[in-house]
Structure 1
Amino acid sequence: MRVAGAPISWGVCEVPGWGHQMAPSRVLAEMRELGLAATELGPRGFLPADPRERDALLARDGLALAGAFVPALLHEPGHDPLPEVVRAMDALPGGAVLVLAAATGRDGYDQRPEPDAAAWAALLDRLDAVALLAADRGRLATLHPHVGTVVERRAEVERVLDGSAIPLCLDTGHLMVGGTDPVALARSAADRIGHVHLKDVDAALAQRVLTGDLGYTEAVAGGMYRPLGRGDVDIAEIVSTLEAAGYGGWYVMEQDTVLTAEPAPGAGPRDDVRRSLAFLAEATR
């Protein structure tokens, strides 16, 4: 299995005020101890900005860089996001996936505006432009449907699939929270999946977020994301469907969490990641 980790599983997040932020030295060491092969980049400032320093730090723990989550303002007609996106793309090593999110321009993921037709036209055009720029550089760019962004709900995911050619990052958790069945999407659009984030989800909490009864950040802090096999997403079916369709990319373990303090040595989020890895190994035999 091509299994990577993500700093958000250790509570490291780009959202201001998200919670306690663990140091990269501990997060990367725990990834290595768990046997993960790679990590995603994490938020700005988590790893060194200089690619040589970053790659040396990752090499110390035997980790490749699987991808980078890059929120970008893609839908505003008067704003050109391409220079910023290209800089982020060019800073990645070969093989690392650019994982775009269609940011709203607001901090956090608890509220979002409804874009109009002009904004949607700009978004779809820019998604195709990014995909082409990536291909010209021998790279892969994907769009991550994500709660609190312009592309969150099922109709919006379908609009991207119908109106652009960019591959998707299939995030099993964000899709479910946004009202998309991740198993059905894996089956119907396997040829459009360029990157995968594996999350399990408490469906009851996800439904409360979908209906607006509960804020996203509050739901994450309340344990909406579960270790694999302990929620309501059929992770094994998703992986087997994608493997049968020829998917050859990373499976990134993500159980987003909010920490209030530094975990004691040998404790903390690593235990949930270990449980997820054990489930994934058993489920994919």
Structure 2
Amino acid sequence: MVDIAVQLYTLRSLEAPLPELLDRVGAAGYDGVEFAYRVRESPVEEVIAALDRNALDAASAHVPIEALEDAPSEALEDGFDETVDFYDRLGVDTLVVPWLDPEHFESAAAVDAVATRLDGLAAALGAEDVRLAYHNHDQEFATVDGAPAIERLIDRTDDRVGFEIDVGWALVGGSDPAALIDRHADRITHVHAADADAARGESVALGEGDVDLGAVVASAQRADAEWLVYEHDDPGDPIASIEQGAKALRDALE
């Protein structure tokens, strides 16, 4: 059975502390949450309490690759050990690399270098009983040696590297997202249920864009994906957005 979660980036414009945002996620009817934005702004004990009172599981967490490669900067103080320990306290068992710049998908050599990096991180995290996944945007669908770069990335990475397919961005990149999930079902851990206007390359509410949500959900179920994660990059009303997203996903799962 596939559970539904919300990516907290969807709520980034709200000024409420994270525990209050988790209360709104629980009220909207989600089973879990994918951490990302502002996760460290509230005491971890308060975040855990909010998860518990809303019966929310930690679906995963988006973590910059630098935090997993022990390359902290002025804006990113934590490295590998601190990151793993922090998310372990929240019950997270899958850490997701959410973004790599387009230059990493412009040539076969660049894609292969990304594959090597992800393999190394998957091995290191595996030793801590944590999974690694990679989340796509549209740059991963640039043509490399006659095929989308993401196909080469999946082929060149170890099976320990999972993939969180963002179906909206996959569509913007020119892919059929349901077919992509079917083709790589054994590598899919999560599916980002995001809709998009493919022509404009913009995030829109579920059902208002070009993504065939029914086909995507069916593919996610066939792949035994653990989570459908709702995300809207720039909702006008974030709370209404997550409420509508939960309903659309529940309806699609019936």
2:172 paired residue number: 177
1:258 CA drift (Å): 5.6
1:192 CA drift (Å): 0.9
2:195 paired residue number: 200
Distance 1:87 1:157, change over 3 A: farther
1:250 CA drift (Å): 1.4
Q: Distance in 2 between matches of 1:21 and 1:153?
A: 34
Contact 2:188 2:223 in 1 (8 A): no
1:256 to 224, 228, 233: 233
1:6 aligns with 2:10: no
Distance 1:120 1:282, change over 3 A: closer
2:121 to 112, 127, 130: 130
Q: 1:186-245 CA distances to partner (integer Å, 9 max, x unpaired)? A: 111111101221101112212xxxxxxxxxxxxxxxxx3222222111121122122123
Q: 1:122-143 CA distances to partner (integer Å, 9 max, x unpaired)? A: 3221111111222222221101
1:65 aligns with 2:58: yes
Structure 2, unaligned stretches of length 5 or more?
Answer: 73-77
Q: 1:66-121 CA distances to partner (integer Å, 9 max, x unpaired)? A: 111112259xxxx86598345423322345320113434xxxxxxx4466666544
Q: Distance in 2 between matches of 1:156 and 1:49?
A: 38
The count of residues paired between Structure 1 and Structure 2 equals 237
Contact 2:60 2:93 in 1 (8 A): yes
Q: Distance in 1 between matches of 2:97 and 2:43?
A: 21
CA RMSD, aligned part only?
Answer: 2.8
Q: 1:14-35 CA distances to partner (integer Å, 9 max, x unpaired)? A: xxxxxx4432244222111111
TM-score (norm 1): 0.72
- Following superposition of structure 1 onto structure 2, how do residues 39-78 of structure 1 map, counting pairs within 5 Å? 39-43=33-37, 45-48=38-41, 51-73=44-66
Contact 1:30 1:270 in 2 (8 A): yes
Q: Distance in 2 between matches of 1:142 and 1:48?
A: 24
1:162 paired residue number: 155
185-194 vs 83-92, which moves further: 83-92
1:234 aligns with 2:212: yes
Distance 1:81 1:194, change over 3 A: farther
1:30 paired residue number: 24
Structure with the largest fraction of strand: 2
Distance 1:160 1:138, change over 3 A: same
Give the counterpart letter for 1:33 in structure 2. Answer: A
Distance 1:118 1:242, change over 3 A: closer
Give the counterpart letter for 1:255 in structure 2. Answer: H
1:185 CA drift (Å): 0.5
1:140 aligns with 2:109: no
TM-score (norm 2): 0.80
Give the counterpart letter for 1:37 in structure 2. Answer: D
1:188 paired residue number: 183
Contact 1:8 1:42 in 2 (8 A): yes
Q: Distance in 2 between matches of 1:56 and 1:275?
A: 26
Q: Distance in 1 between matches of 2:108 and 2:149?
A: 12
Give the counterpart letter for 2:31 in structure 1. Answer: A
